[in-house]
Amino acid sequence: NKLWNADYGYKSAKTACLKSCSLMGVQYFDLYLMHWPEAQKPSCSNREMRAETWRSLEELYEEGICRSIGVSNFLIHHLEQLKEDCSVVPHVNQVEYHPFQQPNDLIEYCRKEGIVFEGYSPLAKGQVFKNPIVQQIAEKHKRTQAQICIRWSIQNGVVTIPKSVKKNRIWENCQVFEFQLDEADMVALGGLHDGRHVSWDPTNVH
């Protein structure tokens, strides 16, 4: 589950989490994330608001209401500040990740700090389907373009979370463990990075 930035702040964060538990009929969350590094209505600096909110999540973690706590869309400097200001290093950082958006420095930092890097939008909201290199590799392996991109992400060691509400697409997205991309495939897909974001871009959040 996620804490939206409208609910940032020490008291607001705890209230929002407990309310979400109640609405979902559960006693705890396996994972609870701060959604964005910027508060919607900050009463102080973003850094101070992130720290205040994170301290609330730390308490929820210590109380067992959140089994793991993490962040989403945080860059290295956001994580560094949180590490300086708080006690618990985020367990997870959920970030946009696909062939066109490969934040490799952030991935390396997360691994060094023991933070699980989790990639969302692995299909770049469908933009990968139009790419000829993705199409060629899909034809080579007799797989769909979606399966190629998900497999590429997994082979890069990224926890990958494709999203769909269609049963056939969900099934398709799961059929990625019976084949492997070779080195040439990985290099070709790795060369598609152009820095584009199809979702949230935290670059200018201080």
> What pLDDT, on a 0 to 100 scale, did the predictor assign at position 174?
97
Q: Mean pLDDT of residues grouped by 10 in the chain (206 residues)?
A: 96 98 98 96 88 98 98 99 97 99 99 98 97 99 98 99 96 97 99 96 95
CA distance 88 to 146: 35
Instruction: Supply 136's token pair.
Output: 């060629």
> What pLDDT, on a 0 to 100 scale, did the predictor assign at position 80?
98
CA 22 remoteness from chain centre? 25
> What pLDDT, on a 0 to 100 scale, did the predictor assign at position 44?
86
User: What pLDDT digit, counting tens, does each position of 146-204 carry?
Assistant: 999 999 999 999 999 999 999 999 999 999 999 999 999 999 999 999 999 999 899 99
Only one residue has tokens 């989403």, namely 72
**Whose CA is closest to 39, among 31, 47, 30?**
47
Instruction: Supply 170's token pair.
Output: 């969900």
Question: CB 138: neighbour CB atoms within 10 A?
Answer: 19
At residue 85, φ and ψ (nearest 5 deg) are: -90, -20
> What pLDDT, on a 0 to 100 scale, did the predictor assign at position 40?
85
> What pLDDT, on a 0 to 100 scale, did the predictor assign at position 43?
75
- Number of residues in the chain: 206
> Quick check: 123 and 146 in contact, CB under 8 A?
yes
CA distance 135 to 132: 5
3-state secondary structure of 13: helix
**Whose CA is closest to 176, among 139, 206, 146?**
146
> What pLDDT, on a 0 to 100 scale, did the predictor assign at position 190?
99
> Quick check: 94 and 200 in contact, CB under 8 A?
no
Instruction: Supply 32's token pair.
Output: 């609870």
> What pLDDT, on a 0 to 100 scale, did the predictor assign at position 70?
99
> Quick check: 205 and 38 in contact, CB under 8 A?
yes
